[in-house]
Structure 1
Amino acid sequence: MESKYPYIAIANVRGGPIRPQIRGVIFIRDVPGGALVYANIQGLPPYQPARGDLDPIGPFGFHIHEFGNCNIGESDAPFKDAGGHWNPTNQPHGNHAGDFPVLFSNDGRTTMEFFTNKFKVRDVIGKSIIIHENPDDYRTQPSGNAGRRLACGVIKPYYNYLPFY
């Protein structure tokens, strides 16, 4: 019997008004014990180290957020309708199910794959993925001080695939 949930989800990520050049795709695939997350993103801004009271730009915070809503809203503070970090088990920041490793870029591009045991694909369908301007510090509560939201994509079922296993 086939599950009503796919084994793979996809989020097409698009930049907002702060960084409209961002484009990318994120695949999430069920594997034994959790999920693999694969990200391929381009158009990220160049790295700038912290100076004085200014935060660095990059590496980039990368999270699942509560709601699958990528409405831009305010142009200087976009994607607020995505809500906060997805945290179904009410953990302190740094251990949210939606906390991902930061994205490092090379000439505006990044490709990364990692394993998480915090969820399966069915758990994240309908949520959003946000790329932030600053690195996540993994300790500031509740969201890691990751800065402005640069890009957003809604996680959707992906049925157009051949099984991997």
Structure 2
Amino acid sequence: MFNRGAVAIVKGGPLAPEISGAVYFKDVPGGCCVCAEVHGLPAYQPTTNDESPIGPHGFHLHEKGTCEIGNPNEPFLAAGDHWNPANQPHGNHAGDFPVLFSNNGYSHLSFFTNRFKVADVIGKTVIIHENPDDYRTQPCGNAGRRLACGVIEYR
């Protein structure tokens, strides 16, 4: 069977309009290869006082296929929670991805997962967050505000 693959075209929202990029999904034996290329990420800013650092950036699949901005101070909430089809604790969601590091605004990341195939993620969203995911806080990792969004579609 021919696999078309999938892509999410990621665009920054009101908190980081300069973000743009694409996240590609391709079935491979035993799972899926995910490849992200993103431009315009905010630079890393270390923790100050009790505030969270900016970056590395949390990177997740979310449940719903919408990038509706809604409240510009808390955009993309309509995308729902992390995608978690196996009802696992946070840190083990199928939608928990590695963080994105900003290298002068640019990030390239490729990884393999055996948690899903391309057909499983069509219509979900990719979200890039302001802060790193702690992979512990339930239910969603305290990764901060949602900076950018893209809906996953067949290509």
Matched, 1:155 2:152: yes
Match of 1:30 among 14, 27, 32: 27
How far 1:78 sits from its partner (Å)? 0.1
Q: What's the offset of the Cα at 1:73?
A: 0.4
TM-score by length of 2: 0.98
Aligned match of 1:103: 100
Which aligned segments of 4 or more residues in structure 1 are displaced greater than 4 angstroms?
A: none
Q: How does 1:12-31 map to 2 (within 5 A)?
A: 12-31=9-28
Selected match of 1:63 from 57, 60, 63: 60
What is the deviation of 1:131?
0.1
Q: What corresponds to 2:50 in structure 1?
A: 53
- Whole-angstrom distance in 2 between the partners of 1:32 and 1:139: 30
**Counterpart mapping for 1:78-157 below 5 A:** 78-157=75-154
Distance 1:133 1:22 in 2: 12
What is the identity, as a one-letter code, of the residue corresponding to 1:95? N
Percent identity of paired positions between Structure 1 and Structure 2: 64
**Partner secondary structure for residue 123 of structure 1:** helix
Q: Secondary structure at the match of 1:122?
A: helix
Deviation by residue 1:7-28 (Cα, 9 ceiling, x = unmatched): 4100000000000000000100
Unaligned runs of 5+ in 1: 159-165
Q: CA RMSD in A?
A: 0.8
The equivalent of 1:162 in structure 2 is none
Equivalent residue pairs, number: 155
CA distance in 2 between partners of 1:7 and 1:31 (Å): 12
